[in-house]
Structure 1
Amino acid sequence: MERRGLDAYGCFEREGSLGRVQRSFAPVVAAARERIGAAYGQRLHSAYLYGSVPRGTARPGRSDLDLLLALHHDPGDEDRDTAEVLARGLDQDFAEVDGVGILLHGKGRLLSEQERYDLGWFLACLCTPLLGADLAEHLPRYRPDSLLARETNGDLTAVLPRWRARARAASTPADYRRLSRHVARHLVRTGFTLVMPRWGGWTSDLAESAEVFGRYYPERAAQMRAAAAVALEPAEDPVVLHGYLEDLGPWLADEYTAVHGTKTPR
């Protein structure tokens, strides 16, 4: 029987592990562990990898390195400045990665009731422990239900205006590549979580996510497959981005609200 990322009880299995990190990415992961500890010291509770690197699907020179840092306190300006310097240094020193992203959150927020089905789920199911005690031990098991769908991606209506503002400010091919990749990734993942409870499983693979979505919305299947392709090979053409912001995105936001409701305001 197909497991679809779930265990025998229908709960999420944690994706990724340090054992899946490909040999070519091992040096940057080791450097990240060492530099994070040195940079944050006692401020750090724990650090995690997420994305293609711990899943073992990263592409040398094309994939980014994604990190989540849990601090003992809510992050301040000094913490964010440290993260920026850390990310820039790793990106410059290791050609294997194309960009480094660091999420910063306080331990209290990650374990809060408000974030139980958003950041808490993200940490417990999609993040791989790198440093420190694993906060997932304090979080529940999760199932692919409508509550989870709502709290993870039920904010597309609120996000679209911010994307449009960024698109208006974009002026170079590099700007459009960065934004098209970001928007395409978000839309594909939102399209997948829209149908996740009906499909009854989990995948982080963008191509598979688009295919699963297309089974339930065949009239939008081609658009979602194209978005999955742009998420891997970003587009410089602003027309592509315009299509996401004025057609696929608004339709998806309306359908998501109709099916799952709107994410609890933060």
Structure 2
Amino acid sequence: MSTDQDYLSSVSQSEYQPVVRELVTYLKSGLKDNLHSVYLYGSVAAGRAIPYLSNIDVVVITHRPFSDTKTTLFNTINWRFQRAYPFVNGVSIRTALVNEVASLEALFTWGFLLRECCVCIHGEDLAECFGHFVPSWEIAKQWNMDTVDYLPVIRQQIATATGQASQIQLQRKLAKKLLRAAYSLVMHKEKRWIEEPLECGQRFLRYYPQHEQTVARLNILLGTRVIPKRSVVGLLDHFGSWLVEEYKKTEFKIG
């Protein structure tokens, strides 16, 4: 059986290894026998994290709910890690129960996430419950069905953001979401799962070249320059609305 050390060796950016190691230790201490497994995904898992911009994305699987202590535990983790490791821009944690993950209903959600996007860094790897996925429209729908609800939320966050650091983080978050959602429109044609935002944009343009200027602007939002809020919100409204409608059209065609 693989050990935590075996899993942690897969974190290719050496400066993040002690961060991930301490995170696992803290989760084991806080959750004890309720902890089933821990997974890393996103830029740190992919080896392309940017110090002072990237956060650490984690999935925590437990045997039982722990809603009574979840907020305190996760807030404490963020507080400790932002002070001990200032180059980490927060720890983002998603949670699920073992019986939710290892189910047929979770095939295109948790199954796909764990198998294709995550690295197990502690415990029994539930990704082994699933075979490899062929990128499909069904997967694209599952991962972007929240776009219509997500856009108004981040729009409000951007409009009310205070401070350059906060706005830059929100700009990057928005750009990643839109570029990945755009690529998901054509993922069933490309037959490849791609997470890196810049490549998502380039692949999308193969089928929608008329959006070249929009993709170029989204790429700018991935940078570290503050863009006027009016421009960011305008881009969100225009391209976000188009994406929502295009998903409806594609669903009508494919079903």
Quick check: TM above 0.5? Answer: yes
1:101 Cα deviation after fit: 1.2
Do the aligned partners of 1:18 and 1:128 also contact (CA within 8 Å) in 2? no
Matched position secondary structure for 1:235: coil
The aligned residue for residue 84 of structure 1 is 75
The aligned residue for residue 214 of structure 1 is 205
1:118 and 2:109 are equivalent in the alignment: yes
1:168 Cα deviation after fit: 4.5
Larger relative helix fraction: 2
The 5 A counterparts of 1:103-252 are: 103-233=94-224, 235-252=226-243
1:86 Cα deviation after fit: 1.1
1:243 Cα deviation after fit: 2.1
1:33 and 2:42 are equivalent in the alignment: no
In structure 1, stretches of 5+ residues that fail to align are 1-15, 262-266
Matched position secondary structure for 2:25: helix
Question: For 1:189-210, what per-residue CA distance to the aligned partner results, in whole angstroms no more than 9, with x for missing partners?
Answer: 1011111111121222111111
The residue identity in structure 2 corresponding to 1:139 is F
1:237 Cα deviation after fit: 2.1
Higher-RCO chain (CA-CA 8 Å, sequence separation at least 6): 1
The aligned residue for residue 57 of structure 1 is 48
In structure 2, stretches of 5+ residues that fail to align are 1-6
1:119 Cα deviation after fit: 2.5
1:17 Cα deviation after fit: 7.8
CA distance in 1, matches of 2:113, 2:25: 24
1:70 and 2:66 are equivalent in the alignment: no
Question: For 1:103-143, what per-residue CA distance to the aligned partner results, in whole angstroms no more than 9, with x for missing partners?
Answer: 12222222333332123211221010011101112223211
Q: TM-score, structure 2 length as denominator?
A: 0.87
Matched position secondary structure for 2:10: helix
CA distance in 2, matches of 1:234, 1:104: 33
Given the superposition, is the C-alpha separation of residues 217 and 180 from structure 1 closer, same or farther in structure 2, using an over 3 Å criterion? Answer: same
Q: Percent identity?
A: 26
1:23 Cα deviation after fit: 1.5
1:45 Cα deviation after fit: 0.7
